Structure 1
């Protein structure tokens, strides 16, 4: 205990440093406009829920519920596509006899080295040429697969014992039964970790939605809050922080629920 005490103290201090912006955001969201502009203390002088009430009642200028709904559709469909496509692709590369399999793996590994920002403008002009800007299509399709996810699941399947699959074949199981009932329960922590990472990446993405979305009704929560900051609410930091706090809640809930899968994934990665 004595040896671990310095580590605990350092970890506690670092956690405070990382949590301080979030704490400041939450407390500021309960301040009045005058209190937020003049009170240097992190705690409000006069606690109020007016900022949250205005956000939900004044939906004409800041329809944050609509933005959250748009973001929810995009993240759920995009994350589902990534998980399904990646699992099927990784299973096919790891187990099926595919001509040119090594070539596919070379392209997948090469794709890991390409920065995502390099593909933004080619994708933008592609969707523009087919008149799909300012729709859900360009917000979902680019997230439909992940080379990193295919690579991770593929390497995990290489160490998965084939004897279990052969036993299932003998019992009359189909290939899809083996994938869903034998393999998937074992790779579930890895898949859930990939799903949560994908969910958070899509949910927090700002650059790509800002390129392909123009109308206020189609905005995601990140682009919507950015518009609030640049608009009239720039002079009201309390209302800005209330909007940010509302937008943070869904991502925080997803992370807390799936946190155990992160631990399982890291633990299982060291088991052969």
Structure 2
């Protein structure tokens, strides 16, 4: 019986490893291609480069480059940071108000939030575009940040968590003289931290990887995000340089990987935790 269990575990681990390698292969190819020369990246399908070079990275970060990737990274970092903070803060406050405070029409509001979850995001793109266009805000940070200031999914997620959160802890804090804000900060937020982190990760990835909305509201090269800038490399004059495109993609991938690795434990906790510590 033990040998059968070990054999079964070995097969499962082997299959999982093969699947992981299959998914990682494009990422590995991307990294190695970024160190190839222009001629080799266009003529060779081998994963490992014959001649290793940093020319692609040096060219990208040079002041004479037609791809201002540092500016694109700054734009993306600013938009992503502000958008993620606003979504997490506003969604937690809105969910707490709906779950704990006496809000008039609470059921109607929650019904509208649930209904909004069924509406595809692409439906709202053109109305939002014409709204910002009528206010002459295109090619600024406003249309890149304001649409990300709140999320109905986040409100719904935090709201359902708070429904299962024991009120006894809050009542005990009230008896000890704590205010509403102190309870939210010292009682609610520590327990909701995994959920808030999960919401932050989802929001971060959605804003960081968004291409369609920035492509509608941004025209100038200086206001582009990293995803839009890389798309320009593919569609523009640099489409004949695969190595340079892969180097840009590697640079764009690193921040997302770092954020995910940093917050991974909270992401797992939000999925596995079903009770309150």
Does 1:121 pair with 2:126?
Answer: yes
Residues 179-227 of structure 1, C-alpha deviations (whole Å, 9 max, x = no match): 0100000000000010011011100000000000010000000111111
For 2:216 and 2:237, the matched residues in 1 are separated by 22
SS of 1:3's equivalent?
helix
TM-score, reference length from structure 2: 0.96
Aligned residue in 2 for 1:193: 198
For 2:190 and 2:29, the matched residues in 1 are separated by 41
Aligned residue in 2 for 1:167: 172
Aligned residue in 2 for 1:224: 229
For 2:42 and 2:83, the matched residues in 1 are separated by 40
Aligned residue in 1 for 2:15: 10
Which of 16, 31, 35 aligns to 1:26? It is 31
For 2:11 and 2:114, the matched residues in 1 are separated by 41
Structure 2 unaligned spans of 5+ = 1-5
For 1:9 and 1:112, the matched residues in 2 are separated by 39
For 1:111 and 1:256, the matched residues in 2 are separated by 31
Aligned residue in 2 for 1:253: 258
SS of 2:50's equivalent?
coil
Residues 27-54 of structure 1, C-alpha deviations (whole Å, 9 max, x = no match): 0000001111111211101011111011
For 2:160 and 2:218, the matched residues in 1 are separated by 37
Cα RMSD after superposing both structures: 0.9
For 1:59 and 1:164, the matched residues in 2 are separated by 60
Does 1:239 pair with 2:239?
Answer: no
Question: How many pairs align?
Answer: 271
Contact 2:72 2:225 in 1 (8 A): yes
SS of 2:104's equivalent?
coil
For 2:65 and 2:248, the matched residues in 1 are separated by 15
Which of 205, 209, 228 aligns to 1:204? It is 209
For 2:65 and 2:54, the matched residues in 1 are separated by 19
Aligned residue in 2 for 1:45: 50
SS of 1:214's equivalent?
coil
Structure 1 unaligned spans of 5+ = none
SS of 1:4's equivalent?
helix
Which of 138, 142, 146 aligns to 2:147? It is 142
For 2:64 and 2:232, the matched residues in 1 are separated by 14
Alignment of 1:143-158 (within 5 A): 143-158=148-163
For 2:8 and 2:162, the matched residues in 1 are separated by 39
Aligned residue in 1 for 2:41: 36
Aligned residue in 2 for 1:266: 271
Q: CA deviation at 1:243?
A: 0.6
Which of 62, 81, 85 aligns to 1:80? It is 85
Residues 163-186 of structure 1, C-alpha deviations (whole Å, 9 max, x = no match): 000000000000000001000000
Contact 2:56 2:243 in 1 (8 A): yes
Post-superposition, which runs of at least 4 consecutive aligned residues in structure 1 deviate over 4 A? none
Report which stretch shifted further, 237-246 or 224-233: 224-233
For 2:128 and 2:42, the matched residues in 1 are separated by 42
For 1:39 and 1:123, the matched residues in 2 are separated by 45
SS of 1:89's equivalent?
helix
